Amino acid sequence: MRQANVERKTKETEISVTVNIDGTGAYTVSTGIGFLDHMLEQLSRHSMIDLNVKADGDLHIDYHHTTEDTGIVIGEAVKQALGDRAGITRYGSALVPLDEALTRAVVDCSNRPYLFWSVKFSRPKLGEMDTELFREWFQAFAQAAGLTLHVENLYGENNHHIVESAYKALARALRQAVTMDPRAEGMVPSTKGMLSDQD
Distance, in Å, from the CA atom of 67 to the CA atom of 86, rounded to the nearest integer, reads 30
The 10s digit of each residue's pLDDT in 106-140 is 999 999 999 999 999 999 999 889 999 999 999 99
Which residues are bridge partners to 153 per DSSP?
103
- Where does the chain show beta strands of DSSP type E? 3-9, 13-20, 27-30, 50-57, 91-98, 101-108, 114-118, 125-126, 129-130, 148-155
Confidence (pLDDT) at 106: 98
Sequence letter at residue 25: G
The pLDDT score that the predictor gives to residue 199 is: 39
Those residues with Cβ within 8 angstroms of residue 82's Cβ, 6 or more apart along the chain or in another chain: 2, 21, 88, 109, 145, 146, 178
Question: Is it true that domain 3-184 has CATH number 1.10.600.10?
Answer: no
Closest by Cα among 168, 139, 178 to 45? 168
Q: How far apart are CA 103 and CA 38, in angstroms?
A: 18
Pairing state between β 50-57 and 27-30 = parallel
Instruction: Please give the model's pTM, rounded to 2 decimal places.
Output: 0.94
The whole-number mean pLDDT for each consecutive block of 10 residues of the chain, a chain of 199 residues, reads: 96 98 98 97 98 97 97 98 93 98 97 97 94 98 98 98 98 97 71 52
- pLDDT number for residue 185: 74
What does the pLDDT read at residue 45? 98
The ranges assigned to domains in the chain are 3-184
Instruction: Return all residues near 122 (Cβ < 8 A) that are at least 6 apart.
Output: 157, 159
% of residues, the chain, pLDDT over 90: 88
